[in-house]
Structure 1
Amino acid sequence: MGERVVGVAVDFSPCSKKALRWAAEHVIRGGDCLVLINVQPEGYYEEGEMQLWEATGSPFISLSDFSSPTISKKYGVKPDPESLDLLNCIAQQKKIDVVLKIFYGDAREKICEAIDKVPLSCIVIGSRGLSKIKRVLLGSVSDYVVNNCSCPVTVVKNLEG
């Protein structure tokens, strides 16, 4: 792993892409390792390998591997071309390693677990900008991570729409 291990929580939504761009501009520097943390919902998987990874998460998946449609389908992730272009650009410009680690279960808990299991130096997470009522009813992943994790957290707000 690199000098620092910077995590970015991604689900490849516009909100997580904004967090990734922000991390590339403000946090990631040469020599770092960028670990993308993706959480798949419980019950999403049926294959034996994924059941084994439920407790620890998947192995680290290189950027070239998860760029392959066959590999991304195997793991159940769907990185869009824009995200893949952005990640390849970051990797080349900053001269860093980029890997993906997938966890299975509740996003709030699994992101906090990832921080300790990887371990991460810091994490950047997007915020969908839920209203106060929706945050109370649905629960905010970013609020939970800020209040329960063991490393510095940066929340990038999605001010659009």
Structure 2
Amino acid sequence: MEEGRRVGVAVDFSPCSKKALSWAVDNLIREKDHLILITVRPEGNYEEGEMQLWEATGSPLIPLSEFSDPVVMKKYGVQPDPEALDIVTTASRQKEVVVLMKIYWGDARDKITEAIENIPLSCLVIGNRGLGGIKRAIMGSVSNYVVNHARCPVTVVKSPEHH
């Protein structure tokens, strides 16, 4: 990954994460950058050898050609959203961006901050689910945690319905 920046976008394929992905592509990504989608799956029962290896370090960096393939992604337990795939495929083609995905298993707060250091990322874009004060106090805000613990610039993209 010699050329350009490594721009991470945390995605769970929810409307707010797709908004963050769109925002990153429209406002941040430049030609020759690496766009790295970071997705975190809940911990589960890993019986397959590969999955046990990836539990601690996350999956290898998966190129766009592979994470566009539903058969390949089934082994990771991830089903990318067609809209998100369209966004990154267009960015790859129009801006000559290298698009990769890295999948982690566990707590999103911890794994996203790990990804920032381990990849390492130049910056991160993350969506905000817009939890109310009570829900945020109980569940905690992933974006708030990442902003306060990241070792790179973080942009939080709010969904329009949460303004």
Instruction: Show CA shifts across 1:44-96 (max 9, x none).
Output: 54322111111111001111101111011111111121111111001111101
Instruction: Show CA shifts across 1:16-68 (max 9, x none).
Output: 10000000111100010001001011125432211111111100111110111
TM-score, normalised with respect to structure 2 = 0.95
Q: Distance in 1 between matches of 2:110 and 2:20?
A: 19
SS of residue in 2 equivalent to 1:75: coil
Aligned to 1:65: 66
| Deviation beyond 6 Å, 4+ runs, structure 1 | none
Q: Distance in 2 between matches of 1:129 and 1:40?
A: 20
Does 1:157 find its partner at 2:158? yes
Q: Distance in 1 between matches of 2:84 and 2:68?
A: 10
For the Cα contact (< 8 Å) 1:129–1:159, is it kept in 2?
no
Q: Distance in 2 between matches of 1:138 and 1:30?
A: 38
Q: Distance in 1 between matches of 2:130 and 2:31?
A: 31
Does 1:121 find its partner at 2:119? no
Does 1:97 find its partner at 2:98? yes
Q: Distance in 1 between matches of 2:48 and 2:105?
A: 12
For the Cα contact (< 8 Å) 1:120–1:151, is it kept in 2?
yes
Q: Distance in 1 between matches of 2:93 and 2:112?
A: 26
Aligned to 1:106: 107
- Identical residues among aligned pairs (%): 65
Aligned length: 161
State which drifts further: 80-89 or 135-144.
80-89
Give the alignment's Cα RMSD to 1 decimal. Answer: 1.1
Q: Counterparts in 2 of 1:47-86, with a 5 A limit?
A: 47-86=48-87
Aligned to 1:28: 29
Q: Distance in 2 between matches of 1:155 and 1:131?
A: 16
Aligned to 2:134: 133
In structure 2, relative to structure 1, the CA distance for the partners of 1:45 and 1:159 (3 Å cut) is farther
Q: Counterparts in 2 of 1:5-16, with a 5 A limit?
A: 5-16=6-17
2:28 partner amino acid: V
Q: Distance in 1 between matches of 2:37 and 2:147?
A: 17
For the Cα contact (< 8 Å) 1:4–1:33, is it kept in 2?
yes
> How far 1:141 sits from its partner (Å)?
0.4
- Stretches of structure 2 that go unaligned for 5 or more consecutive residues are none
